[in-house]
Amino acid sequence: MRKSLAFAVMVALVGAGAAACGSGSTAGTPSAVSSTASRSAATTPVVGGQPPGLRTVTSSDDGKTISLAPGETFLLALGDGDWTPEIDNQAIVSRVPNIAVVRGAQGVYSAHSAGTAHMTAQNGSLTFRLTVVVK
C-alpha cells in the first residue's frame, strides 16, 4: 500500500511539475516519470499540493471524528509551527514514512485496520484533537 501511495504522489508531481514549468512535457511520459523517479527514493515530496483524492485534515477539524476505510489516507495540515502529532494506536492509523509534505503540513497518515485511534498534536499551548474511526 505504501508503495502505491508513493507512486500516486510521484504521478501527481509529474503532472504538477510539467504544468508549472511549461515545458510542454506530458505527464506520464517515460522521460518525465524517469526524471521524477531518479530523485531521492527515500523521500517523495508533495510539492505545491496533494495527490488527487487525498483528504486534508486541518485545524478546523479539531475535536471532530473522521471515518476511513483500511488503506485510505489523509494529509494532516495544521499550519506552520512546531506541531508534534501523536497517535494512541498505530495499528489502526499511522504516519506514512518518507513522504515530505508542503510547509504547514505534518504528514500523510494511513488507516490500517478496523478500530478507533485518537490523534493529538501539540504546538506550544495549542492542542489539536482528532478521532479516527476505521471501518
* Rounded mean pLDDT, 28-55: 45
Of 19-23, 28-32, 124-128, the one with minimum mean pLDDT is 28-32
What pLDDT does residue 54 have?
83
Domain spans, the chain: 2-37, 55-134
What pLDDT does residue 33 have?
34
What pLDDT does residue 23 have?
40
Q: Does the domain spanning 55-134 belong to CATH 2.60.40.2020?
A: yes
* Rounded mean pLDDT, 18-23: 40
What pLDDT does residue 27 have?
41
Name the residue with cell 478500530: 115
Give the global pTM.
Answer: 0.64
What pLDDT does residue 51 have?
56
**pLDDT single digits (tens) 61-117:** 999 999 999 999 999 999 999 999 999 999 999 999 999 999 999 999 999 999 999
How far apart, in Å, do the first and last CA atoms of the chain sit?
Answer: 17
pLDDT of 123 strictly over 70: yes
What pLDDT does residue 31 have?
35
DSSP 3-50: HHHHHHHHHHHHHHHHHHHT--PPTT-HHHHHHHHTS-SS-----SS-
**pLDDT single digits (tens) 43-62:** 444 444 545 568 999 999 99
* Rounded mean pLDDT, 37-44: 38
